[in-house]
Structure 1
Amino acid sequence: MATALLVRHGRTTANATGILAGWSSGVDLDDTGREQAAALAARVASLPVVEIVSSPLTRCLQTTDELRRGAWSEVPVTECDDLGECRYGAWTGRPLSELAEDPLWRTVQHQPGAATFPASSEYRHESIRQMADRAVAAMRGIDARVEADHGPSALWVAVSHGDVIKAILADAAGTHLDLFQRFTVGPASLSVVRYTAARPYLLRCNDTGEDLGGLAAPPATSEASEGGAGVVGGGV
């Protein structure tokens, strides 16, 4: 079967300032995010990728541009709304420190499959379950098309968001959605899934190619930091 490389966008201005970006406009990669994306591009440049499918949001398209600056300059790019960020509704654009005081935060952290984001007149909203269902369906559909077009050894790239990728990885690992906060998906990280007729295989998760010394750092203790790159943590 074809193999899917899942790339999270690089760090953004919203990540750096602790804002839940969601589908709000004007959220770009910052200097660090561009450097992260460029470093990832250098690591994967030798892979014979046949297609890139990206979330339509600017931060993902900017990451895609970095991936295509080198050996992938001729690789076709398509956009897919179903790989777009979770629709956070009234939570969109608000500080994470403020959202952490909302009772819904605990549901998002501890039972995400039961969480639905509040409605807004400006931004669409959905449940985490709805987000997961549309993202997983999109991945499986795109993967089947890529294999049909390019054969079972084809490699393709999905550029998306932390929470979306976590939902895809949870499905690939056979993990209940309520446990998807156990996955970490950092900025410009690479995860790899191969779908087969029998089952998906999770080949790689949150690979950033960085020095492992940071693993010795003490873990965060505040609930507001739970989930690392999770919903309203790093999935912005």
Structure 2
Amino acid sequence: MQAGRLASRLRGEAISAIHTSPQPRTCQTAAAIAAAAGLADPRIVPELDEVDFGSWSGRTFDDLDRDVAFRRWNEVRSFSRTPAGESMHDVQSRILRHMEAAAHELGDRTITLVSHADVIKAVVIYQLGLSIDAWQRFEVEPASITRIEVTGWAWKLLGLNEVVW
């Protein structure tokens, strides 16, 4: 339902390419957007994947809330790392590398990236020149739109967390 409304909202946009995280929920959203835009299948891009939570993967939030390391991760991400997984700096580096490569490859054409809240937050934080620890200061809802213009000399945040459902 959210994916369908998002796809309808983006139908009139001049989207040239869609890149998506390999997770099933993002692939479904990307496929709905591609169908509405009349584009070929989205390109699956590992750099858009969710944070690798390492040994925390598969555990419930109730269980994790009792873990001191998990609480620290959520309080001070600039100095924390998921056990056997990624730091937020790792996440930020991989998404920014992909965005720069995609901008170089496709020039001034519009690319839709379908990813996850923490990954999107890592980009916005970079764009605004904030610390990784600012990740809790704003929301990125599921199936929302955040717009960033990437040009050769500047990145501009044009919109954040536009909810269409």
Under a length normalisation based on structure 1, what TM-score does the superposition of the two structures give? Answer: 0.66
- Identity score, percent: 28
Are 2:77 and 2:88, in contact at CA under 8 Å, matched by a contact in 1?
yes
Aligned to 1:40: 6
Residues 50 and 75 in structure 1, CA contact (< 8 A), matched pair in contact too: no
Match of 2:27 in 1: 61
CA deviation map 1:149-197 (0-9, x unaligned)? xxx2x21100111111110111111211121221311010000001233
Structure 1 residue 110 corresponds to structure 2 residue 75 = yes
Residue 69 (structure 1) shift: 2.8
Residues in 2 aligned to 1:117 and 1:172: alpha-carbon distance in whole angstroms: 24
- The equivalent position to 2:96 in structure 1, one of 128, 131, 136, is 136
* 8 A contact 1:117–1:127 mirrored in 2: yes
- Alpha carbons 1:114, 1:129 under 8 Å: kept: no
RMSD between aligned alpha carbons?
A: 1.5
Q: Which 4+ stretches in 1 moved above 4 angstroms?
A: none
Partners of 2:19 and 2:114 within 8 A in 1: yes
Q: Which structure: greater helix fraction?
A: 2
The size of the alignment, in residue pairs, is 165
Letter in 2 for 1:100: D
Distance (Å, rounded) in 1 between the aligned partners of 2:112 and 2:126: 18
Q: Map of 1:161-172 to 2, 5 A cutoff?
A: 161-172=116-127
Q: Tell me, what secondary structure is at the counterpart of 2:147?
A: strand
Q: Which runs of 5+ in 2 are unaligned?
A: none
Residue 105 of structure 2 corresponds to 145
TM-score, normalised to structure 2, is: 0.93
User: Do structure 1's residue 95 and structure 2's residue 60 form an aligned pair?
Assistant: yes
Q: Is the 8 A contact 2:21 2:114 kept in 1?
A: yes
CA contact 1:49–1:75 (8 Å) conserved in 2: no
* Matched letter for residue 120 of structure 2: I
Deviation at 1:76, TM superposition (A): 5.0
